[in-house]
Amino acid sequence: MDSINVILTVWKRDNLEKQLNAIQNQTANINDVYVYQNESHIDVDRFKDKYKFKHVHSKDMNFKFHGRFTLPLLFDTKYTAIFDDDTIPNKNWLSHCQQLCEKDNCIVGANCRRQDGFGAGLCDGKFNTVPLEGDLVGHCWFFKTEWIHYMWREPAPTFDNGEDLHFSAACKIHGGIKSYLATQTPGDEDSWGDTESALGIDEHATWRRPDHNPIRAKLYEYWVDKGLEVAK
């Protein structure tokens, strides 16, 4: 079975043990788990005796949203999964993603956004009964590792936001790779990608910043000008 490298992100939220436990219980074939930490707000060392992972720590700098997307450039696994620090997947999530990724040759996420007059509408992953194409996906990104090279053909217009749109747009422009919100239906909760959505509404949530929507609108314009065809 083709293996997966998993990247977990740490900054100021202390959800790492929940994530490590959720990844440890996945039914998919996981090769390595990488904890990508910006700065030193959380004590990651306290988990090293209980869980097996590789710690990538930028002690004195914050490489923000994009830094974690550089690690797959060094991977040799067929697949990579990157998780936001507020996302706790159920046990079949990565297997579910792998099936959809293979079937439709797409990036898979637990939620998505679609353009609407350069305002991006959120499509929550819960209760959708068919995969839904988005302009970007979030919470989790599951993809074939080789696709990360499409992302870095393009410079980031800003490192303060928009890694999700950067990745999806570059993959679609250069590789014809679409981004899909996976099905997450009632009665099949073991395949859901995010079991604790309340973790994403705290003071660290990017979407709560007053400049978030204006920045996102400008990023949409940037990528459309670069050749992105938005999802229909």
Count of domains observed in the chain: 1
45 burial type by CB count under 10 A (0-12 exposed, 13-18 middle, 19+ buried): exposed
**pLDDT tens column, 154-176:** 999 999 899 999 999 999 999 99
12: Cα separation from own chain's centroid: 18
Positive or negative CA dihedral for 54, 192, 102, 230? negative
Give the C-alpha separation, 226 to 169, whole Å: 9
Range of the domain at 178: 4-226
Query: What average pLDDT does this structure show over 66-85?
Result: 97
- The CATH number of the domain holding residue 165 is 3.90.550.10
Does residue 52 belong to any structural domain of this protein? yes
Does residue 198 belong to any structural domain of this protein? yes
**Residue given tokens 């090293």 in the structure block:** 48
Query: What average pLDDT does this structure show over 119-128?
Result: 62
**pLDDT tens column, 165-209:** 999 999 999 999 999 999 988 888 999 988 877 565 555 556 556
What tokens were used for 140?
């989790």
Give every CB contact of residue 190 below 8 A, 6+ residues apart in sequence.
90, 91, 92
Considering the chain, what is the average pLDDT of its residues? 90
Does residue 232 belong to any structural domain of this protein? no
Does residue 195 belong to any structural domain of this protein? yes
Does residue 213 belong to any structural domain of this protein? yes
Does residue 162 belong to any structural domain of this protein? yes
Report the candidate in 20, 123, 95, 11 with the shortest Cα–Cα distance to residue 58: 11
Under 8 Å between Cβ of 36 and 67: yes
Report the candidate in 62, 35, 37, 87 with the shortest Cα–Cα distance to residue 200: 87
Residue 126 has pLDDT above 80, yes or no: no
User: According to the model, what pLDDT value does residue 202 have?
Assistant: 54
Percent of the chain with pLDDT over 90: 73
Does residue 231 belong to any structural domain of this protein? no
Report the candidate in 176, 208, 167 with the shortest Cα–Cα distance to residue 82: 167
At position 108, the amino acid (one-letter code) is V
pTM for the complete prediction? 0.92
Query: What average pLDDT does this structure show over 46-73?
Result: 95
User: According to the model, what pLDDT value does residue 118 have?
Assistant: 45
